[in-house]
Amino acid sequence: MTGPRPEASPAHDQFLLRHRLPDRSRLWILVYLVVSAALVATFLVARRFTEARFGDFHALTSTAAALAVMVGILTLVRHHSRPNNHLLLIGAGLIGAGILDGYHAWITSSYFVELFPSVPESLAAWSWTTSRLFLSVMLLASWAAGRREAKLGAAGLIEARSIYDDVALLAVVCLGFFIFVPLPPAYQPGWPVHRPQALGIAIVFLLSLVAYLRDGRWRRSPFASWFVLALVVSVLTDALFVAFSAGPSDLMSGVAHGLKIVAYGCILVGVVASTYHLYRSVEETSLELEASNRVLEAEIERRKLAQAELEQAERKVREYAERLKSSNAELEQFAYAASHDLQEPLRVIAGYTRLLASRYEGRLDGQADRFIEYTVSGVERMQKLIQDLLTYSRVETHGKPFERVDSMRAFEWARTNLQAAIEESGASITGEGLPELVAEPTQLGQLFQNLLSNAIKYRSEEAPEVHVRAERTDGAWHFSVADNGIGIPSEDRDRVFEMFRRLDTAGDRDGTGIGLSVCRRIVERHGGRIWVESGPDRGSTFHFTIPDPEPARPDEAP
């Protein structure tokens, strides 16, 4: 047997299991044909023994009744594991037929025969017919109800309770019928077919057989294959053995009783086989589930590990950042202390070198005068460098709290400080729309002063023209300082803000390369950003932003 292949089946279809079984239609067609041929052969043989007589078939009918009820219950149990119209009607049909078969056994027994108005022969034949009619109709109905469910889905499901009620009602009505209604003769001895009503029942069974054969589930579903076999047996039982039985105790009738048990037995085997496959598929599913659980657990474990590694890495990054922060602070402190402490000895050296220059200039030889001049200018440069470094480190270490400040005043302050350079260069420096905002006043003044002094220092041939303006952007003030100086090549625009960075274009102009670093540090301390737009020979425009959440008022502009 090939192993079951996983394939989804419609949720409502309980004939087919979750794990589809292999197609066994060839085998089953052979079985159906062989069984049919055997029954036809048995019928032909039995026709020769018309005289053979048996006592009664109480044992067979009781067995059939018990078997039908048992198979019916098993089918319903299977149905209740996942409600489904086919199995509900087949199960209920079998239980109903079992009850009617029970009547068939009881009412012909010598204990009860007195109770009924009809002769035992008629009682036996009609109670058999009732049971068969009921079963055949229920089986045909089970197919129709199954189709309805396939079309409508869950909405097409029949409620089990209503079917049980109908079966119980039928049992009572039948009993009453047999007790109160005198029955007509069941056998037509003069006719070629002695019990024509059996042909009608055979036709109903045949309709179910054709319907179930056409829907094809018998090819794979063990229950459906056995069920179709039961239908084959039932059709031939009624069409041949019952229809041609000439009396309640002849050979035909005996075979029919036996075949009824065989048909019930087929359904029983079908239920058992289907239950077996169900268990197997449950077992396989749970194994699959266990395996996928294991994979899932391993995946969870892996993710936990990755998470832990990530957390550890994050912790390390935080630690490094912390260390960097504290070593930066230490470095800043060191730079401040070093530049601060260097100032004093430098002042002494500068003082004495200047004294040396003023006292001995022209009194020593020409070379000594040049040496003294170099020393004086070197010391002055060093003083400027130390001064600028100190300014740089003070931005953070000596930063004062922010306050509401008029940027126009800061601009004016810077311009006043640069008065000498402005006059000397003939510069025109103008400011427009400079607002009130929250900042540190001294640092804002320092920022303007650095940018304005650069604009004058890096002037072109023309007299410097510098224009400072501000405009409101989203949540910040955007300042710009535009000059008509020598400009900055595009590849250097970011580098000019680096510490000690001086461009070649600066030529012989004095400077330490710290001024713009101070500007950037001040702007960043205020939470803003600084950048420059420029091109050689077309001036530079320095932009910086200072966040200021307060909305601009028209009267804020000076």
Return the structure tokens found at 506: 């600066």
The interface region with ligand ADP, picked from 143-151, 236-244, 416-424, 498-506 by CB under 6 A, is 498-506
Dihedral, CA of residue 380, residue 385, residue 391 and residue 395, to nearest 10: 180
For residue 421, state whether it binds ligand ADP (rule: CB under 6 A). Answer: no
Q: Binder to ligand ADP among 235, 512, 526, 548 (CB under 6 A)? A: 512
Closest CB to ligand ADP among 222 and 464?
A: 464
Binders in 302-361 for ligand ADP, by CB under 6 A: none
Taking the least distance from each CB to ligand ADP, the nearer of 241 and 448 is 448
CB 529 within 8 A of CB 523: yes
Q: E-strand spans in 5-48?
A: 5-6, 19-20
Among the candidate windows 10-18, 75-83, 335-343, 513-521, which touches ligand ADP by CB under 6 A?
513-521
Of 145 and 455, the one with the shorter C-beta distance to ligand ADP is 455
Q: Contacts with ligand ADP: how many residues (CB under 6 A)?
A: 22
Give CA–CA dist 202/194, Å, rounded: 14
Smallest distance, Å, CB 519 to ligand ADP? 8
Return d(Cα 208, Cα 231) in angstroms, integer.
Answer: 7
Shortest distance, position 465 Cβ to ligand ADP, whole Å: 12
Answer whether 71's CB lies under 8 Å from 271's CB.
yes
Identify which range of 108-116, 232-240, 354-362, 483-491 contacts ligand ADP by CB under 6 A: 483-491
Please identify, using beta-carbon distances, which residue of 436 and 483 lies nearer to ligand ADP: 483
Read off the tokens for 60: 């067979």
Count of CB atoms situated within 10 Å of the CB of 441: 17
- With CB under 6 A as the contact rule, the residue among 200, 511, 536, 547 that binds ligand ADP is 511
| Minimum CB distance to ligand ADP smaller for 232 or for 518 | 518
Minimal distance, residue 339 CB to ligand ADP, in Å: 16
Q: Report long-range pairs for 182-190 (Cβ below 8 Å, ≥24 apart).
A: 182/117, 182/118, 183/118, 183/122, 183/123, 183/126, 184/122, 185/121, 185/122, 186/121, 186/122, 186/124, 186/125, 186/126, 186/129, 187/121, 187/125, 187/245, 187/246, 187/247, 189/246
Query: CA 354 to CA 360: how far, in whole Å?
Result: 10
515 binds ligand ADP, rule: CB under 6 A: yes
DSSP-derived 3-state class of residue 13: coil
Residues 532 and 488: beta-carbon distance below 8 Å? yes
Query: Which residue, 223 or 458, has its beta carbon nearer to ligand ADP?
Result: 458
**Smaller CB distance to ligand ADP: residue 251 or 455?**
455
Q: And the tokens for 399?
A: 């930063």
Q: Is 18 in the site for ligand ADP (CB under 6 A)?
A: no
Task: Name which of 101 and 483 has its Cβ closer to ligand ADP.
Answer: 483
Cβ neighbours of 516 (radius 10 Å): 22
Least CB distance from residue 418 to ligand ADP, whole Å? Answer: 13
User: Beta strands 436-439 and 428-432: pairing type?
Assistant: unpaired
Q: Are strands 403-406 and 465-473 parallel, antiparallel or unpaired?
A: unpaired
Span of 93-101, 154-162, 269-277, 485-493 interacting with ligand ADP by CB under 6 A = 485-493
The distance of closest approach from Cβ of residue 360 to ligand ADP in the complex, given in angstroms and rounded to an integer, is 32
Q: Which is nearer to ligand ADP, 385 or 552 (CB)?
A: 385
Say whether residue 392 binds ligand ADP (CB under 6 A). no
In the complex, the smallest distance separating the C-beta of residue 308 from ligand ADP, rounded to whole angstroms, is 47
Residues within window 432-461 making contact with ligand ADP, judged by CB under 6 A: 454-455, 458
Residue 496: CB minimum distance to ligand ADP, A: 4
Residue type, 292: S
516 is an interface residue for ligand ADP by CB under 6 A: yes
User: With binding defined as CB under 6 A, does residue 484 bind ligand ADP?
Assistant: no
Please, are residues 442 and 469 in contact by the beta-carbon 8 Å criterion?
A: no
Tokens of 193: 């077919």
Per CB under 6 A, 98 contacts ligand ADP = no
Binding region for ligand ADP (CB under 6 A) out of 1-9, 55-63, 297-305, 501-509: 501-509
Smallest gap from residue 493 Cβ to ligand ADP (A): 10
Q: How far apart are CA 52 and CA 49, in angstroms?
A: 6
The footprint of ligand ADP (CB under 6 A) covers 454-455, 458, 483, 485-488, 496, 501-503, 505-506, 511-517, 540
